[in-house]
Structure 1
């Protein structure tokens, strides 16, 4: 994964990208100087909270672009393009708490029987992606902890995030992936 220095750099950068857009209506130019490890392709999510309530969360589960570029892009998306929320305003900006989660590459969990998922997933360490056909849902590792989910509840809520029935994780046609995340806030 990345160093703490690089992680907190991404956290500051996410905040600055949103602030700059609110002030100018323009996208911030990628800095010339930054920790070089952020050139690595990594999955990244930016989460915005307001008074301990989710205010926006967008990211890339897969490592499809350099972490620095992904962070700049998803910071703006979390603030202005999360379909669950209105756009962030200048007035509320200072009341936002920022979180950047850098992800490992998702790995499919191979099981002979769905009950084995309960032994393969560790609450607090693993995030989940559940995919059935075209439906796909993702929950970050911290979601299970923040909501005191059991492993079964975590699987169910990830299914619901995908828009499929809560018990779909028990279906052999459903793929379950896990990943880990470094959280900076």
Structure 2
């Protein structure tokens, strides 16, 4: 991940902060950040928070682009993943004990330069590359762990990325489509 490599301890601290932030919100309390946070938490990095319950997705929201400092982004998306993911009801205090958190800290997305759409097959590496697709007003993102969890090959990954963006499965072959790759450092509870 370029020079933005978080240590395992920093990753665990981010998970602890995300969990405490959600619990504070559930209890209607103000969350106070710990003092003396690592300097890297102030760097602008993309971040996603994924919630799972019994190994099933329970919420996932994030910032693919490094708009905010890592800590600001984390505080924001941890609440959004728990309460504002339109695919799920808001998390309750009762179920939150059973929910596992996963964080993905992202590198800046880079346009994948190609001559022909077939180049994507050799350029995209399953497990390394998360992808963002853009075509006109459509945009979709899949984190690098998704194709591994779903046991997808590269073409299936690209087709599902198209669906996520509300596009037809062949849209990745369209010359007006742009694909961006990013990497993620993943931390789990």
TM-score bin, normalised by smaller chain: over 0.9
SS in 1 for 2:44: coil
Query: Which position in structure 2 is the counterpart of 1:84?
Result: 87
- Corresponding pairs, count: 184
Pairing 1:28-43 to 2, within 5 Å after superposition: 28-43=31-46
Query: TM-score normalised to the size of structure 2?
Result: 0.95
Q: Deviations over 1:48-70 (max 9, x none)?
A: 00011000000000011110111
Q: Distance in 2 between matches of 1:13 and 1:120?
A: 36
**Distance in 1 (alpha carbons) for counterparts of 2:71 and 2:89:** 25
Q: Which residue of 1 aligns with 2:135?
A: 132
Measured in 2, the distance between the counterparts of 1:131 and 1:91 equals: 39
Mapped pair 1:58 → 2:61: yes
Q: Is 1:97 aligned with 2:100?
A: yes
Spell out the pairing of 1:92-171 with structure 2 (5 A cutoff): 92-171=95-174
Q: Does 1:172 align with 2:172?
A: no
Q: Which runs of 4+ in 1 moved over 3 A?
A: none
Q: Normalising by the residue count of structure 1, what TM-score does the alignment of the two structures yield?
A: 0.97
The DSSP-based 3-state class of the residue aligned with 1:165 is coil
Name the residue aligned to 1:17: 21
> Are 2:17 and 2:33, in contact at CA under 8 Å, matched by a contact in 1?
no
User: Do 1:30 and 1:69's aligned partners in 2 also have CA atoms closer than 8 Å?
Assistant: no
CA separation in 1, counterparts of 2:125 and 2:29?
A: 41
CA RMSD of superposed structures (Å)? 0.9
Any stretches of 5+ residues in structure 2 without a counterpart? none
Output the CA distance in 1 between the equivalents of 2:186 and 2:69. Answer: 17
Partner residue in 2 for 1:75:
78
How far apart, in 2, do the equivalents of 1:29 and 1:73 lie?
14
Q: Give structure 1 stretches of 5+ with no counterpart.
A: none
Q: Would the alpha carbon gap of residues 27 and 151 (structure 1) be closer, same or farther in structure 2, given more than 3 Å must change?
A: farther
